A and B are shown apart, each in its own frame.
Chain A
Amino acid sequence: MQITHDTVRDVARLARLAVSEAEAHALAPQLSAIISYAEQLQSVDLTEVPPTSHPLALMNVFRADEPRPSLPREVALAQAPDSDGGQVRVPAVLEG
């Protein structure tokens, strides 16, 4: 599978990464090489093989539904780059 420069730009947009022209040109052959290497999985017959998503077969891990203390608001906000009035501030999402 050849990953083109355009594909790199599309994927970067999906991943919320701003990739420069120079970076996209460097990444395209590198990503192609990695994906091409992974194509060897296509040569193995995997029909009927169930996928393993997780090595530990734990099912439905619940805790008691009881209120318990959580981080105080000021501690949770202490690492926010910008906050105001007990909330995180970001650029406007909606015009208005």
Chain B
Amino acid sequence: MLPTIREIADSLRRKETQPSEWMAQSLAAVRERDGAIGAFLTLDADGAVERARRLDGQPQTNPMFGVPFALKDNICTEGLRTTAASRILESYIPPYSATAGQRLADAGAVLIGKTNLDEFAMGSSTENSAFQKTRNPYHSDAVPGGSSGGSAAAVAAGLVPFALGSDTGGSIRQPAAFCGVVGLKPTYGRVSRYGLIAFGSSLDQIGPLTRTVEDAALVLQAIAGHDPNDSTSAPQPVDDWMAALERGVRGLRIGVVRTGEEEGVHPGVQAAVDAALRTLEGAGAEIVEVALPHAQYAVASYYLVAPAEASANLARFDGVRYGRRVVGETLTDMYERSRSEGFGLEVKRRIMIGTYILSEGYYDAYYKRAQQMRTLIRQDYEAAFERCDVVVTPTAPTPAFRFGEKSDPLQMYLTDLFTIPANLAGLPGLSVPCGMVDGLPVGIQFVGRAFDEATLLQIGHAYEQERGFPMPTPEVAGQ
């Protein structure tokens, strides 16, 4: 089990260890345990060893220095295969690196490899990967969640101290909850999306999966901020998130959205979230009830907006300039064959939903209404934030489900009902482990005001300190 970023950084600062030793430990963990988990699609062992070796003996410049990490395989890495877990990009080697990953590399963090995901980040279990299954480190029959399932499993199993994921409708927070790690979706625009293979461009956001809230703050500090290469990245100044951690929760108002059987919430999940709220109340936070009356329409809106944007974004995969080409008699033949053989079934479903609702005569009935609902959901949050500083729900209604359990696409979509509203409103969300149900982890989700990651991290960190019980280590992670 690799220690946290903080522990590695402290050890490097005291010169007790060198970056190479941590890299060796991380690679050994992957070789020993990833066969049982399947978190990695591509491992760059030689490159990682070499990059770490070059840092040995150098002065530590910041907490990321010399720390091994992984990237979800929809984040482009120059010279290193990036597949989005799709056959259409099976041998794609990007000519440039995503800003978020580059900023980590510039800070001295060492990339070890690329993690599995649902194809093009479309899914909630990582079962839609064209290449392999990723297993939940806590139970080999359970999914790791998705779409950033490989990143969550790699961190939970102690293969790397942290990984980046992307979150379009919950794809960082839900796998974090299922795998018992911390997942942060920053505010839309907080982290550059340059080099992230686009899915839903008005929803996508890159963020960290870590073992502690403090580590999430450290990673956010390294990757956040405006990027001239992403015109949708926000000009807001980057906060000092480490300072925010120590503020405690006294006087903070936590808005609780009542959930229950109606939303399909497992009683054990509800109990764990309620216990976490009592812990926070005991630490001095004030609990108030709030309502998000339009959140019940979030899944319906999302599964119109996201496929619409996806159908446009994925038009670029046509077998012409990059990616898989299947030869055809005519140009149209070539497009159709390349796309049909290159995309998996869920990706085709979403492209078709998107194409359908954007087609003539249906736009006003579907896409426009979904965007109007988005406004109402945003306004719900604005009203809630008049009365509280964060809004709390379970991250997911149940613990991790079994492989094949959600074979109906719509049933799979409904598992994201608590995470989707924050994407529609562009708000930051943080999932923190808050207990175990049937041997599987459960997460509590905090959603904050736009660009107020500080309060999320502050509450999440305080909760971790006060939780009073350690999250059990998955057996597969060893000691």
Contact = CB atoms under 8 A, between A and B. Distances in A.
Interface of A: 3, 7-8, 11-12, 14-19, 23, 27, 30-31, 33-35, 37-38, 40-42, 44, 46, 49-56, 58, 61, 63, 71, 75-76, 78-82, 88, 90-93
Interface string B323-342: 11101111111111101100
B371 A52 contact: yes
A46 B297 contact: no
B375 A49 contact: yes
Nearest to A39: B300
Contacts of A90: 320, 331, 334
Contact of A11 (B96, B359, B372, B409): B359
A35 B353 contact: yes
Contacts of B329: 91
A17 B356 contact: no
Interface residues of B, number: 73
A91 B331 contact: yes
A14 B368 CA distance: 20
Given A11-B352, A27-B349, 4 more contacts: A17-B351, A55-B378, A63-B228, A71-B95
Contacts of B343: 17
Given A17-B348, A38-B300, A46 B372 contact: yes
Contacts of A44: 294, 297, 373, 376
23 contacts: A3-B356, A15-B352, A17-B340, A18-B340, A33-B409, A33-B410, A34-B410, A38-B304, A38-B370, A40-B297, A41-B373, A49-B372, A49-B373, A51-B368, A51-B372, A54-B202, A54-B232, A56-B234, A79-B321, A80-B320, A88-B320, A91-B334, A92-B331
B33 to A, nearest CB: 33
B365 interface: yes
Contacts of B97: none
Nearest to B423: A55
Interface string B165-197: 000000000000000000000001100000000
A34 B336 contact: no
